[in-house]
Amino acid sequence: MAFDPRKAADPTATSLLTIDLAALRANYATLRGHAKDSECAAVIKADAYGTGAEQAVRALLREGCKTYFAATFAEAEIIRAAAREATIYVLDGFFAGSGPAFAEKAIRPVLSSLPEIEDWAAFCRERGQPLPAAIQLDTGMNRLGLPRSEIEQLAAAPELLASFAPALLMSHLACADEPGHPLNETQLKSFEGYRAMLPAGPASFANSAGIFLGTRYHFDLVRPGFALYGGKAAEGRKPLRQVVRLEARIVQVHDASAGTSVGYGAAHVLSRPTRIATLSIGYADGIFRVLGARDGKPGFAAYIDGHAAPALGRVSMDLITLDVTDVPDGLAHRGAWIEILGAHVSIDELAAQAGTIGYEMLTSLSRRAQRIYTGSEAE
């Protein structure tokens, strides 16, 4: 019999986020298969895109993942606690004075400017140990990475590179989610040219979407993130297996008359006698306020046993009201679970309704939801 997360939920829980670690592992295996001649790392930023870094890393370790990328040092520490032997990189900056912390935890900084490289080289000389680090090159995104002028200066200063162990040369694609965008090819040519200016070594260029651009973009290591967690990585590509399912419980069901309004601002007036279910979830839980309904503008729909229940009125901080008039009798009752994300609505579909991207929606899901992990990796 299949495991039912609802039956395992705490009786006090008002929302439930189910995370399928078997799907996460399957997605990693699929992405690794697309880049079979390269190592496949995993990006574990923002608490593994909201799914739980510790649990995600333990699942990916079982799938054979050996290299991880975090945004911050604090995130990298969580990865290190779960993966003692893994290679871990921090993407978002190395600051003077932080060298001892990186060395103590065997965490590698990604150096994105000449001053960062100089500081890391100085730290390694003081320590008498050429510790590894990655070097990021700016190939056209204008966000992080050495520009051409600094690459030329670095190429002319071999003593800097001799002071530490450059373990990876990397860059980041700006438009990989649009396979036909001309910047993809422009960045690739820049990356190849810049690499030729520096000592030979392993290289990394492709994010989730970049993996699907083809082998020319793979180099030695690919770095999937969003696609691992079930998000749609690129135009024309179906998402991989869905990893998250979000549900909320009905707090109250009541009848309201036609002509009365629902929620703050009286922005939604009922056009018919309506049965209303109030859910204990809201924008504090990552269900953005723009997803609500008002006169002349429908909102999102949740699902109860496959039956759509459209939003009524505004999404408030902790509550959402739904129209369950057309839901079969007996399904919508106090304590019943209603699906917000899952089999009927993907993270990308709900994000599109909110006028944003799946990345933002996934990483905005609140910790107020009880988390239940499924799959053979769940502990």
The active-site residue out of 7, 28, 36, 45 is 45
Distance from C-alpha of 184 to C-alpha of 77, rounded to nearest angstrom: 33
Contacts of 60 (CB under 8 A, 6+ apart): 24, 25, 28, 42, 68
Return the C-alpha torsion angle 105, 106, 109, 110, nearest 10: -140
Catalytic status, residue 45? yes
The two three-digit tokens of residue 87, written as one number: 């290679």
- Residues 91-125, buried b or exposed e (16+ Cβ, 10 A)? bebbeeebbeebeeeebbbbbbbbebbbbbbebbe
Catalytic status, residue 359? no
272 sits in the region (left: phi over 0; alpha: psi -120 to 50; else beta) called beta
CB atoms inside a 10 Å sphere around CB 376: 9
Distance from C-alpha of 104 to C-alpha of 122, rounded to nearest angstrom: 17
Tokens 């601002």 sit at which residue?
265
Q: Which residue, 12, 47, 55, is CA-closest to 372?
A: 55
The active-site residue out of 28, 232, 264, 297 is 264
**DSSP letter for each residue of 64-112:** T--EEEESSHHHHHHHHHH-TT-EEEE-S---TT-HHHHHHHT-EEEE-
Q: Which residue, 321, 335, 277, 328, is CA-closest to 305?
A: 328
Question: Do residues 143 and 195 touch, judged by C-beta distance below 8 A?
Answer: no
Total residues found in the chain within this entry: 379
Distance from C-alpha of 36 to C-alpha of 176, rounded to nearest angstrom: 19
In terms of DSSP H, where are the helices of the chain? 5-8, 21-34, 45-49, 53-62, 73-82, 99-105, 114-127, 148-155, 158-162, 182-197, 208-211, 347-353, 358-364
Q: Just list the catalytic residues.
A: 45, 264
